[in-house]
Structure 1
Amino acid sequence: MKEYKIILDSPSERPSLGFDQTAVALKDVIEGSTPQFVIGIFGTWGSGKTTLMRAIERKLNSSKSIALQFSAWRYEKEPNLIIPLLDIVREGLIKWADQNKELQQKALATASVVGKAVYSLLAGLSLKIGLPNALELSYKANESLAQARDFVEKEKEARVPRSFYHAAFRALGESFKEFLGSAEGPDRLVVFVDDLDRCLPQGALEVLEAMKLFFDLEGFIFVVGLDQGVVERSIDLKYRNESNPAQNSRDGTRQIRGADYIKKIFQVPFSLSPVAITQLDEFLSAVYQESNLPDTQREELKKQVAPHLRYIVENGGVNPREIKRYLNAYTISIKIKPQLERNVMLALQTVAFRRDWESVERGLLSYREIFIDALKRRVLEHDLTAIADLDPTLTDIPESFFSYVSAPNPGAVLLNAQNLDVHIYSGQATRSSLSTLFLDAIRDVAQLTKHIRGLQSAANLDFNTLSPYSSLVSSATSMVQQAGGVRFAGISNEWMEHVNLAVSQTQGPMDEENKKQWISDEEAFRRRMMNLLMETYQLGSTVTPT
């Protein structure tokens, strides 16, 4: 086990999942079409967008296409993203010129025009924000652009453009047309825009807006990897905030929709699909080979981990990155705690990765062995109310989970798990950035369920019955605030005020109507707190449930 490795989350050089065939098809589109369009590679975070774009780039004919890479995230904080985008183009041309001596001068001349365009745009921005000497600088920048395109000296004053963007992109268009038009040289620049997933939504939108400035330049093809849903929501939010719905309805205009915006930008859309169950073995084999895993680790992952992993993939919506994270979480767990039962660790990990099994995770974290006992009665004795009797909020557990924990399926090991607490706390250490105090807080709040039920069945609610309960709530809310801090202060204080008020005002037995309402309010507090705890716990998790 000492030699076991972590699988790196990096783009694959030998992609599986049909990426190679897809890359060939998109490469043919890029090389066989008029170079003035945008390809969108749509997929969620971790779905393989970078891997596919790198595969396309490797297949391009380097003598006819100049491939450039633009990492959107790296330049997200730039005040004007057109500047670094142009700089990437300029650097790419210089690099290409160094490798192609016969067309070196043309490439360098074009790179020079790009550099002057950057200079002009920077000058324009300087003027806009009122920097000293900006007017003189902007004039000289536009003048140099005019000179770069061999303007006739005597017509220079009349023809020097006064619009920074117009000057820059007119010069760029003419220069690229000349450079890309030669029969012996390249005829297109292919810009791969990656890492939009890492940008804040507004940053991702600004990258797309910067790209639009190139759309009138023949010779440019953009290949953009993005999460379509994230960008569409950013656009919807931006234009909803900027528009006046009432005015729109009066003048016949309508708000710009994200879906329409995306359709207009991307002439060639391609959506990446989640990993299918039929592709799992192929994908795992490729991952093991590319990661150069030792034989013992491969064998363990194949025989012990893959059977559990299939229950993640069968749910759909799982991407390559999530599969790697699942494998890595297991590897870290067994390296830290090699004495633990591995199938139990895997079963708990599988539950954490399944979004539709959230109620199961809540039951396990809340009630531990008590939940397992109820689960046994449900699975082995077919007691359909066993879990609801424990906690009525856990009644939405899907049948797929009960199938997973039924013999001979791999999750059946949970029914006889020993030292469940140790496995839960060990697994949490590898899957969450939160303190293990969160697990204590979840357990303590959940345990109040039986005490609330006890109050409900009590003959009387008076000081003697409410005072011990008040201490339990105080202890639980104290643990919650210790684990979660100020986020939980409001609801904790509100809950304690509700309890303390009842304790202080109840001299004799509480009447039946007030008792019923007060207990209902207490259960509502408990559920609110539990929902907030679980929401925070899952947000702090390093896994992405599927």
Structure 2
Amino acid sequence: MSKLLSNLPIEDLTPENDYIGIIEKGTLLKSFFLNNKHEYSKIKIFSIYGDWGSGKSTLMKYLQKELKGSFNTFFFESWEFESDNNLALSLLEFLVSKTDSKTDKLLKNGKNLLDGFSKAVTLKTPIANLNMSEVDKNINKESFLERKEQFKTDFRAWEDKITTKPKSPDYNIVFIDDLDRCEPENILNLLSAMKLFFTYGKKTVFLCGIDKKAIREAVKTKYGDVVKANEYLEKIFDISFSMPNTYSVYKLIKRCFPNKTEIKNNTLADYINKFFSEINFRNPRRVKKILNKYLIIERLKENSDLDYKLPNIIFNEKGTLFETYLTLYLLILKEFEPENFELLFNLSAKRVNYGLALKNSISDDSRYKNAYSTLEIYTKDEFLNAQFNKFMIKNNYNMLTIFSTFFTPTKVDNLQLAVFSNSNDFVKSFGLSKKSYEYYFSLFIFNNWKSIFEDLSNAEYSLSYYKKMISNLI
């Protein structure tokens, strides 16, 4: 039985389970940090840019393990401290708590400084500045400047205490994770405080895992169009790295489907990998979530005493490839495009939306009527509620067109034709400004029609029943 996939960073990273390319990227970054210590008095804040779910945490955990011994390493998971409402102060307390040195003075003076700072920080330009009118309400200007100098002295004293012990590394590296899960205000206050205060140190560098989208939203939320997010990031971070943009989802899939049994000359893992690729479903974290739900269905099918109809996925030499694809697709749609899932197989809504789109693109009235009448033929509700093989055999219409129309997106920006008989016609005639999983699944049907048609004669349920089954199941 395959184990469910964890969303936590991979601890026991090996070439076999490294589906993101962490080891290769981590080896390069390890070399960089080890060989550039002479620069750390001036260059101190680094970032790793990557989308949500791209593996930033795994990479930083790998680096922490690899750099331990050469650096004093600290791993600050910022989201865990967000309830404190002052992440900069939480970071300071975290660093102190992980060392044995007496730092009462650093904590006391740091608290006074960072409390006042969190209420006063603003951005008038792409670099962090202080709103002095706010500072005056919390700390007088002279006292504030004195506290800055005191913090510099105290922080450097803390660095010296933990880097001059016998056999102690000469430098500290602090990993900042989970920023993209925090509130915009907290994200910006922490980054600004790091730039203004924590860089006073001479032996401590910071590496932040950053989702640029989260920072853009944070900057826009707080400062509107006054500050450009990219300029802000350039000012905060001295050097930035990026997550690998190519990764092997296949390695992830093979962990769930290790069985080498061949189905039509390929393994199930091969087919699912190809399917995910064709519908543009490659984000590792999303893939994990869907594979876990699929594995739950597998486990339910193992329970022979369960009196409940389950998807006809390939299992114990039964099931069909198409129904396996369909199950995965419905899980994806329900999880990540719930609005589209609700509209799926709503042929009445499709007739209305497509009719309006046809009207806007076809000015000739007779051509429009012909196109719309064709559309009405291919979107009959009775087809949807029949078993696949039955309505295919019973009707003399273009079988591919009928079947594909059930899956084409319900919403459309512009529509040139009412008939979709192949992928080229679909791409040319179906105008959609934002491509959805629905769109790519439609292309998948066109491109794999022959193998799908072979499976339909063995399909167990109607399309509408499949949707109901997935809705109730997970």
Answer yes or no: is 1:325 the counterpart of 2:328.
no
Deviation by residue 1:411-459 (Cα, 9 ceiling, x = unmatched) = 965995524344322322455xxxxxxxxxxxxxxxxxxxxxxxxxxxx
Quick one: distance in 2 between partners of 1:421 and 1:313? 26
1:384 shift after superposition: 8.3
Judging changes above 3 Å, is the alpha-carbon distance between structure 1 residues 341 and 411 closer, same or farther for their aligned structure 2 residues?
A: same
Of 302-311 and 45-54, deviating more is 302-311
Deviates more, 1:31-40 or 1:329-338: 329-338
Q: CA deviation at 1:328?
A: 0.8
Q: The residue matched to 1:211 in structure 2 has which SS? A: helix
Gaps of 5+ in 2: 119-142, 303-309, 314-319, 349-380, 416-429, 431-438
Show CA shifts across 1:265-321 (max 9, x none): 223322224555xx2333434x45xxxx8x66x869993355134222345462221
Give the conservation status (yes or no) of the 8 Å contact 1:351–1:358. Answer: no
User: What amino acid maps onto 1:88 in structure 2?
Assistant: F
> Quick one: which amino acid aligns to residue 208 of structure 1?
L
Structure 1 match to 2:237: 266
Residue aligning to 1:387:
405
In structure 2, which of residues 37, 50, 68 is the aligned counterpart of residue 43 of structure 1?
50
Question: Cα–Cα, structure 1 residues 407 and 207, in superposed 2: closer, same or farther, change >3 Å?
Answer: farther
1:8 aligns with 2:11: no
State the partner residue of 2:154.
Answer: 171
5+ long unaligned stretches in structure 1 = 95-107, 130-159, 246-254, 432-546
Task: In structure 2, give the amino acid aligned to 1:118.
Answer: L
**Distance apart, 1:383 and its partner CA:** 4.4
- What is the distance in 2 between the residues matched to 1:73 and 1:391? 37
Whether contact under 8 Å (2:19, 2:249) holds in the other structure is no
Between 120-129 and 264-273, the greater mean CA deviation after superposition = 120-129
| Superposition deviation, residue 361 in structure 1 | 7.4
The CA deviation at 1:82 is 2.2
What code does the residue aligned with 2:3 have? K
Q: Deviations over 1:74-115 (max 9, x none)?
A: 111223222221122112323xxxxxxxxxxxxx2xxx23x4
Larger radius of gyration, structure 1 or 2? Answer: 1
Matched, 1:364 2:345: yes
Q: Please say if 1:66 is aligned against 2:66.
A: no
Task: For residue 23 of structure 1, report the CA deviation from its aligned partner.
Answer: 0.5
Q: Using the TM superposition, give the Cα deviation of residue 53 of structure 1 relative to its aligned residue in structure 2, in angstroms.
A: 0.7
Comparing 84-93 with 222-231, which one deviates more in the overlay?
A: 84-93
Residue aligned with 2:199, SS: coil
Partner of 2:187: 204
Contact persistence 1:72–1:193 (CA under 8 A): yes
Shift in CA distance, 9/79, structure 1 to aligned 2, threshold 3 Å: closer
Counterpart of 1:21 in structure 2 is: 24
TM-score between the two structures when normalised by the length of structure 1: 0.56
Give the whole-Å Cα distance in 1 for the aligned partners of 2:385 and 2:454. Answer: 12
**Amino acid of the structure 2 residue aligned with 1:199:** C
In structure 1, the residue matched to 2:220 is 236
Q: Percent identity?
A: 19
Indicate whether 1:349 and 2:356 are aligned.
no
1:36-435 alignment runs, 5 A limit: 36-62=43-69, 64-94=70-100, 108=101, 112-113=102-103, 115-123=104-112, 163-177=146-160, 180=163, 185-212=168-195, 213-240=197-224, 255-273=226-244, 276=247, 279-285=248-254, 287=255, 303-304=267-268, 306-316=270-280, 318-336=282-300, 339-342=310-313, 343=320, 344-350=323-329, 353=332, 362-364=343-345, 370-371=383-384, 381=399, 383=401, 387=405, 393=411, 396=430, 397=439, 400-403=443-446, 405-408=448-451, 413=456, 416=459, 418-429=461-472, 431=474
Over residues 463-499 of structure 1, what are the superposed CA-to-partner deviations in whole Å (9 max), with x where a residue is unaligned? xxxxxxxxxxxxxxxxxxxxxxxxxxxxxxxxxxxxx
Contact 1:378 / 1:387 at 8 angstroms: preserved in 2? no
Q: Larger % of helix: which?
A: 1
Q: How many residues in Structure 1 have an aligned counterpart in Structure 2?
A: 360
The verdict on how the C-alpha distance between 1:226 and 1:314 changes in structure 2, with shifts beyond 3 A counting, is farther
1:191/1:221 contact within 8 Å kept: yes
Using a 3 Å threshold, how does the CA distance of structure 1 residues 337 and 387 change in structure 2: closer, same or farther? same
Within 2, Cα distance between the matches of 1:203 and 1:378? 62
- State whether residues 250 and 273 of structure 2, in contact with CA within 8 Å, keep that contact through their aligned partners in structure 1: no
> How many Å separate the matches in 1 of 2:52 and 2:411?
31
The whole-number CA distance in structure 2 between the counterparts of 1:59 and 1:353 is: 36
Contact 2:20 2:55 in 1 (8 A): no
**Is the partner of 1:69 in helix, strand or coil?**
strand
* Other structure's SS at 1:364 match: coil
User: What is the rounded CA distance, in whole Å, between the counterparts of 1:411 and 1:184 in structure 2?
Assistant: 68
Indicate how the Cα distance of structure 1 residues 209 and 371 shifts in structure 2: closer, same or farther if over 3 A, else same: farther
The 5-angstrom pairing of residues 521-536 of structure 1 reads none
